[in-house]
Structure 1
Amino acid sequence: MAATMMSSTFVAKVAPVRSQLRNVRVAAVSNGAKVTCAAKPSWLPGSTSPEYLDGSLPGDYGFDPLGLGKDVATLARLREAEIIHSRWAMLGVAGCVSVEALGYGDWLSAATASQQTYFGADVPFDLGTLLAIEFVSMAYLEGKRNEETDPEKRCYPGGAFDPMGFSKDAASFEMMKKKEIANGRTAMMAMLGVYCQTSTGSTPVANWLAHISDPWQVSVASNAVAIPYIN
């Protein structure tokens, strides 16, 4: 009986408090109050991103230790340069690997051969002529790109460069921008690795095959060229 009376008294005292709390919560919702606690991704957990890197750019993780992007115009120029280099690096890595994987020699000897071939077929131009054609073509394309004044269109021109219409859906387009820059950054690092592998006297695919065949004995740690004085 005493327990019942104590329980009833407790409920009687708590009920008005619950009612008041419920009223406060309803009032907050009815006033349109909304709190979001989503954290911006960071390249280094716990670090503070610069104010000018607010997460609005694709692939922005607050990485700018030298403060190169403080100026708005400089940030736009560096962003464009990174995207262009990323695209070339992705094409370059694919080309370097595919040449060797398909049995047409390694990327360095194939590019400097006196007789150029394309998938086994002879190309009717020597290396000097091919370089001249490439130089003129690139100069023309870069000139046309520099005629564009819209910074977004300079990076994502659309039109003929989006034949499948991937940019029509805004949400999907933003996601693809993030994927492109992420893959592009990886490709730039991979292309740097391809360049460095020439010092080993081997080639990318050959190095990879040697590593997976004996990963504990063949790695960057066993390469005296990559890490001097380890042997």
Structure 2
Amino acid sequence: MAVAMGKAVFLGRCSTSSLSNTAIFRGRNINRFSAARPRPALRSSIAARAQRPTWLPGLDPPPHLDGTLAGDFGFDPLGLGEDPQSLKWYVQAELVHARFAMAGVAGILFTDLLRVTGISNLPIWYEAGAVKFEFASTETLFIVQLFLMGFVETKRYMDFTNPGSQAKEGTFFGLEAALEGLEPGYPGGPLLNPLGLAKDIKNAHDWKLKEIKNGRLAMVAMLGIFVQAYVTHAGPIDNLVTHLSNPWHRTVIQILSGVSP
């Protein structure tokens, strides 16, 4: 009888301990499984990153580039935009360079086309600055340009440091209503936005994206025009005509290698 009671006690202890061990084991498995499964917020963040286009597919963009900026594809290998204030300035600087590049490419191609076709006797674009004009001397033009561009750039910087300050009455010779600054970097009004595009600048992400994409393409194009002028001593239209005259033998490879067919 004592033996039987001992077996019962032994089996009872074993069953209780085994049940508790099983429960603990299962609990650990459950905890491990729940820890391994990403939370809903984390899953949505991972999905958003997977859907977001980046300059290199599969790249994990830096945390300071969260996709809210127009044209943000996570490209900042040097970490220049980690400081929020510096990032705001870089955005404005890129906008200005992009717009100058778009105007420069359009002006170079248009004047070069007029020159090559013989419609107008214009100098090649990289010699236009040395041309003497009859209505004013070079020094006068330089001083006028320096004053006008300095004034505009100063106003732009003041609007950047204090948004909306330059739209107040009396700050721009009575032209404030005609400019109607929308936000820093995006002036409006009939003078700078005659078609009335993107009046709601806060929700004009598509227009901003198109502008910055075309601006970046124009900056690359300007770099190509600079290199072409240095290597070939000719304008872009001249280079295009030369290439089309013999497309298989007049290419960048032959030009850089110094081989002329």
- Greater mean deviation of Cα atoms: 208-217 or 175-184: 208-217
Question: Are residues 1:135 and 2:165 paired?
Answer: no
TM-score, scaled relative to structure 2: 0.65
Displacement, 1:44?
0.4
TM-score, scaled relative to structure 1: 0.73
**Which residue, 200, 208, 212 being the options, matches 1:177?**
208
**Matching of residues 101-116 of structure 1 within 5 Å:** 101-103=113-115, 104-114=122-132, 116=133
**Which residue, 173, 190, 193 being the options, matches 2:224?**
193
Relative distance call for 1:58 and 1:198 in structure 2 (3 A) is same
Question: Are residues 1:76 and 2:88 paired?
Answer: yes
**Matching of residues 6-155 of structure 1 within 5 Å:** 37-38=47-48, 39-103=51-115, 104-114=122-132, 116=133, 124-148=135-159, 149-150=162-163, 153-155=183-185
User: Is the CA contact 1:42–1:49 (under 8 Å) kept in the aligned structure 2?
Assistant: yes
Relative distance call for 1:136 and 1:218 in structure 2 (3 A) is same
Displacement, 1:228?
8.3
Relative distance call for 1:168 and 1:210 in structure 2 (3 A) is same
Structure 2: distance between partners of 1:134 and 1:85? 18
Displacement, 1:154?
2.0
Structure 2: distance between partners of 1:91 and 1:82? 14
Determine helix, strand or coil for the equivalent of 1:42. coil
Q: What code does the residue aligned with 1:109 have?
A: E
User: Is the CA contact 2:70–2:208 (under 8 Å) kept in the aligned structure 1?
Assistant: yes
Q: What code does the residue aligned with 1:216 have?
A: W
Bigger radius of gyration: 2
The aligned residue for residue 15 of structure 1 is none
The aligned residue for residue 246 of structure 2 is 214
User: Is the CA contact 1:166–1:172 (under 8 Å) kept in the aligned structure 2?
Assistant: no
Q: What code does the residue aligned with 2:109 have?
A: V
Displacement, 1:109?
2.1
Gap regions ≥5 residues in structure 1: 1-34, 117-122
Determine helix, strand or coil for the equivalent of 1:192. helix
Relative distance call for 1:216 and 1:177 in structure 2 (3 A) is same
Determine helix, strand or coil for the equivalent of 1:65. coil
Structure 2: distance between partners of 1:48 and 1:202? 43
Displacement, 1:147?
1.7
The aligned residue for residue 204 of structure 1 is 236
Alignment root-mean-square deviation, CA: 2.5
Q: 1:112-158 CA distances to partner (integer Å, 9 max, x unpaired)?
A: 122x3xxxxxx511333222211110001011112212298221122
